[in-house]
Amino acid sequence: MDTAYTVEQLRDAVTDAVRAPSLHNTQPWRFRLRDGGIEVLVDATRRLPATDPSGWGVRIACGAALFNLRLALAVAGTPARVRLRPYPAEPDVVARLVPDVPRRPTPAEQSLHAAIPRRFSNRAPFWPDPVPADARWRLAEAARAELCWLELLIGVSAVNAFAEIARSAHRVLERDPAYRAERTDWVRTEPAPDGVPAAAGGPQSEPQDLLPSRGFGGLNRAPGRDFEPEPLVAVLGSAGNTAVDQVVAGQALQRVLLTATDSGLSASMLSQPIEVPGAREQLRLSLGRFGTPQMVLRIGYGQPGSPTPRRDVDEVLELPVHP
Ligand X SMILES: Cc1cc2nc3c(=O)[nH]c(=O)nc-3n(C[C@H](O)[C@H](O)[C@H](O)COP(=O)(O)O)c2cc1C
Does residue 61 interact with ligand X by CB under 6 A?
A: yes
Query: Could you give the 3-state DSSP secondary structure of residue 95?
Result: strand
Q: Which is nearer to ligand X, 196 or 287 (CB)?
A: 196
Does residue 123 interact with ligand X by CB under 6 A?
A: yes
Task: Sort strands 196-197 and 187-188 into parallel, antiparallel or unpaired.
Answer: parallel
Which range touches ligand X (CB under 6 A), out of 54-62, 90-98, 171-179, 240-248? 54-62
Q: Using CB under 6 A, which of 46, 136, 214, 255 touches ligand X?
A: 214
Query: Could you give the 3-state DSSP secondary structure of residue 219?
Result: strand
DSSP-assigned letter for residue 230? P
Within 103-122, the residues that bind ligand X by CB under 6 A are 120-121
Q: Which is nearer to ligand X, 21 or 99 (CB)?
A: 21
Binding residues for ligand X, total number by CB under 6 A: 20
Q: What is the closest distance, in whole angstroms, from the C-beta atom of residue 78 to ligand X in the complex?
A: 27
Within 264-293, the residues that bind ligand X by CB under 6 A are 268-272
Q: What is the closest distance, in whole angstroms, from the C-beta atom of residue 294 to ligand X in the complex?
A: 8
Give the DSSP per-residue string, 162-203.
Answer: HHHHHHHHHHHHHT-HHHHHHHHHTEESS--SSSEEGGGS-B
Q: Using CB under 6 A, which of 28, 37, 55, 57 touches ligand X?
A: 57
Which range touches ligand X (CB under 6 A), out of 19-27, 66-74, 93-101, 131-139? 19-27
CB burial string 48-74: b at 16+ within 10 A, e below: beebbeebbbbbbbbbbbbbbbbbbbb
Q: Are 209 and 317 in contact (CB under 8 A)?
A: no
Position with the least CB separation from ligand X: 21
Q: Which residues are at the interface with ligand X (CB under 6 A)?
A: 21-25, 57, 60-61, 120-121, 123, 196, 214, 268-272, 307-308
